[in-house]
């Protein structure tokens, strides 16, 4: 593992964490190591596994570099990479839960996380209860004798409810229940999971860590106490990220702070502009003072990324399609966190169970990319023009 430095600021660590040029012939970046077989010089070394790398699936210097950097930035004990964000979530839940256990999952969780609970965990005899993401300390009332994990995601997928993580952690830890956080929206730069008491933090590194929409990657960062079961499951499931994707994660990480600063600035500009549009009923973005989660966000987060939602006033489906189909800069597609702007209609009424989504009209999720704000505004403005014309 590479050295950590406690005295340096986060931006400095972003540039230097997980990097040892002296071990790479002076080259600045840890290169892409490809490989399965790793040779041992002697029988003794083989029998004792007495070298840092033993088999490709169990890690390479490229993988270790990104793991070390992420563990340091999240403020956790150690990190393990997986081939996707969803595999990080699935591995964590399977590592911590057994037949007969109960898990509490936020109703605002990423939808495939929910599907995993409803299908795989259910089949294994593990029961899931979905809770209102705004539950706070009242999570205590939902904890049962066999509850092992509270799964959180803050802000929540699509609807961006900010969860009171310290209050949930206090109630969970009082009953020896672990708290897992999907920290993808904030990244380790804008929310420090372990400083707020979480036991495990998950990143869909596919998003802002990679940052360029060109790779799939997940990361599980643990506390010291939760390291053993996660490491064991990760090993037993045979998970290993691809070498190129890992390298792209490392490369993306170096510019994460600079990119997020810009995503945040432009997202605020777009959100404020949208808030004044007559077609928009409300904007859901915790960084806006008008957002119901703003006070909690201000207390616990140090920034906001470029992903938020708007609710439109009632409008016909063809009018909405006319707006979205003609956009030239905002692309329609899944994922987010890349350099490019995205827009996606969504409707939580179709799958949420613990809360009721009430909206004036259709909802849209926007990812504000690194393009010029004026150009993005013009693209949306033209879209509203088409929407009005088709209404
Ligand atoms: C909040 C959140 N968590 C996890 C994931 C899953 O990540 P991946 O697509 O890398 O599996 C996503 C993907 O959109 C996400 O938005």
Task: Kindly tell me if the per-residue pLDDT of 2 is higher than 70.
Answer: no
pLDDT of residue 364: 98
Q: Is residue 5 part of a domain?
A: no
* Averaged pLDDT, 16-22: 94
In a domain, 320, yes or no: yes
Domain of 142: which CATH number? 3.40.640.10
Q: Which domain holds residue 339?
A: 256-390
Residues 166, 290 within the same domain? no
The predicted model gives 58-80 an average pLDDT of 98
Measured in Å, residue 86 CA sits from the centre of ligand 1 at 6
User: Is the minimum distance from the CB of 391 to ligand 1 under 6 angstroms?
Assistant: no
* Residue 103 sits in the same domain as residue 246: yes
Active site (annotated) includes residue 57: yes
192 is annotated as an active-site residue: no
Give 185 Cα–ligand 1 centroid separation in angstroms: 10
| 19, 134: one domain | yes
pLDDT in tens, 72-107: 999 999 999 999 999 999 999 999 999 999 999 999
User: Quick one: what percent of the chain has pLDDT higher than 90?
Assistant: 98
- DSSP state, residue 119: I
pLDDT tens digit string along 246-303? 999 999 999 999 999 999 999 999 999 999 999 999 999 999 999 999 999 999 999 9
Ligand 1 center to residue 204 CA distance, Å?
A: 5
pLDDT at residue 115, as a whole number: 98
Please give the Cα distance from 166 to 147 (Å, whole number).
Answer: 18
* Separation of alpha carbons 16 and 319, rounded Å: 49
Q: Which of 78, 148, 207, 365 is catalytic?
A: 207
Quick one: pLDDT at residue 1? 62
Instruction: Please report which confidence band the pLDDT of residue 5 belongs to, taking 50, 70 and 90 as the band edges.
Output: confident
pLDDT recorded at residue 4: 76
Q: Does residue 155 have a cis peptide bond before it, meaning omega lies within 30 degrees of 0?
A: yes
Beta carbons of 71 and 200 less than 8 angstroms apart? no
Q: Where are the alpha helices (DSSP H) in the chain?
A: 10-16, 43-48, 61-74, 85-96, 111-116, 122-123, 165-173, 187-190, 227-236, 243-254, 256-275, 294-300, 317-325, 373-390
| 72 shares its domain with 162 | yes
User: Active site includes 110?
Assistant: yes
Calculate mean pLDDT across residues 18-40.
96
Among 81, 85, 190, residue to substitute to test ligand 1 (most atoms within 8 Å of Cβ): 85
Report CA(235)–ligand 1 centroid distance (Å). Answer: 22
330: pLDDT strictly greater than 90: yes
Asked if residue 372 and residue 240 are part of one domain, the reply reads no
The predicted pLDDT at position 36 comes to: 98
150-203 per-position pLDDT tens digit: 999 999 999 999 999 999 999 999 999 999 999 999 999 999 999 999 999 999
- Choose between 4 and 306: higher pLDDT: 306
Phi/psi of residue 218, nearest 5 degrees:
-125, 160
In a domain, 2, yes or no: no
**Dist. CA 17 → ligand 1 center (Å):** 24
- pLDDT(42) > 90: yes
Structure confidence at residue 234 (pLDDT): 98
Whose CA is closest to 17, among 186, 182, 189?
A: 189
For ligand 1, atom 2, name the residue with the nearest CA: 110
Q: Is 214 a catalytic residue?
A: no
Q: Choose the final residue of a domain: 193, 219, 254.
A: 254
Q: Is 346's C-beta closer than 6 angstroms to any atom of ligand 1?
A: no
Say whether both 269 and 196 belong to one domain. no
Instruction: State residue 371's pLDDT score.
Output: 98
* Residue 291 belongs to some domain of the structure: yes
């Amino acid at each position: 593992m590479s050295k950590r430095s406690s005295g340096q600021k986060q931006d400095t660590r972003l540039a230097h964490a997980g990097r040892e040029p002296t071990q790479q012939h002076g080259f600045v970046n840890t290169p892409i190591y490809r490989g399965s077989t790793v040779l041992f010089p002697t029988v003794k070394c083989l029998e004792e596994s007495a070298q840092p790398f033993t088999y490709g699936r169990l890690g390479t210097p490229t993988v270790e570099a990104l793991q070390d950097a992420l563990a340091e930035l999240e403020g956790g004990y150690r990190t393990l990479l997986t081939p996707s964000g969803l595999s990080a979530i699935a591995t964590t839940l399977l590592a911590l839960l057994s037949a007969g256990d109960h898990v509490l999952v936020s109703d605002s969780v990423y939808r495939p996380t929910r599907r995993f609970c409803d299908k795989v965990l259910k089949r294994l005899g593990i029961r899931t209860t979905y809770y209102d993401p705004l539950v706070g300390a009242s999570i205590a009332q939902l904890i049962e004798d066999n509850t092992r994990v509270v799964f959180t995601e803050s802000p929540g997928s699509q609807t961006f409810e900010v969860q009171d993580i310290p209050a949930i952690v206090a109630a969970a830890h009082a009953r020896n229940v672990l708290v897992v956080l999907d920290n993808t929206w904030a990244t380790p730069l804008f929310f420090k999971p372990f400083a707020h008491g979480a036991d495990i933090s998950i990143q869909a590194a596919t998003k802002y860590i990679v940052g360029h929409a060109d790779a799939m990657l997940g990361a599980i960062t643990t506390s010291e106490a939760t390291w053993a079961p996660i490491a064991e499951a990760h090993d037993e499931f045979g998970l290993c990220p691809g070498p190129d994707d890992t390298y792209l994660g490392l490369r993306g990480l170096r510019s994460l702070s600079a990119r997020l600063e810009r995503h945040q600035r432009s997202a605020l500009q777009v959100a404020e502009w949208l808030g004044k549009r007559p077609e928009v009923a409300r904007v859901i973005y915790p960084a806006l003072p008008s957002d119901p989660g703003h006070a909690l966000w201000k207390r616990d987060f140090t920034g906001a990324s470029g992903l938020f939602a708007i609710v439109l006033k009632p409008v016909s489906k063809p009018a909405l399609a006319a707006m979205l189909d003609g956009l030239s800069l905002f692309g329609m597609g899944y994922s987010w966190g890349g350099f490019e702007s995205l827009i996606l209609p969504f409707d939580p009424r179709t799958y949420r169970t613990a809360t009721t989504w009430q909206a004036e009209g259709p909802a849209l999720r926007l990812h504000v990319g690194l393009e010029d704000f004026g150009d993005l505004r013009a693209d949306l403005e033209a879209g509203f023009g088409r929407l009005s014309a088709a209404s």
